[in-house]
Structure 1
Amino acid sequence: MANHKSAAKKAKQDIARRARNRAGKSRLRTELKKIRKLIQEGSSEAVTKLPAMYSLIDRSAKKGFIHQNAADRLKARLASHMPAAQ
């Protein structure tokens, strides 16, 4: 239990931030699974969804859900598997 008013506020903020971060990271993982499945199936839909996926990855990095290097790595790996889907 917090001993100061400011510590109680910080604990409350931490809970809210943790929930926001978990939700954002979860959404990113879910979308990555979906696009990877489309790529594996060789669907042409994967090509049309790629720019939206890049945008989601960039926003996730900007908001701090993942590190910028991790975002770049994810985008590079998706791009390297894309020719198989085309």
Structure 2
Amino acid sequence: MSGILLAIGIIVPLIVPLYAHADPHLGGMPFFYWYQMLWVPIDAALIGICYLLMTREDRRRREVLKTGTGAQPGTGDGGGAK
């Protein structure tokens, strides 16, 4: 999911025909410029969401390892040296 969000933030601004025109103006600024500037906070939000998703998944994986639900080497469950 994080990869998809990051790809959106990278690929959409690269599609220049979407914003290669002057109208509509916003505060006297042509569409070409304000559209690009609009992507700055959008990308920041997407990166923040990706960070939260990745840290939540990392925390979940660490908890699984702590509880010992997986086979640990050297515990007599068939894995590791004895």
TM-score of the pair, normalised by structure 2: 0.45
TM-score of the pair, normalised by structure 1: 0.44
For the pair shown, the structure with the greater C-alpha radius of gyration is 2
Task: Name whichever structure is richer in helix by fraction.
Answer: 1
Greater relative contact order (Cα 8 A, min sep 6): structure 1 or 2?
Answer: 1
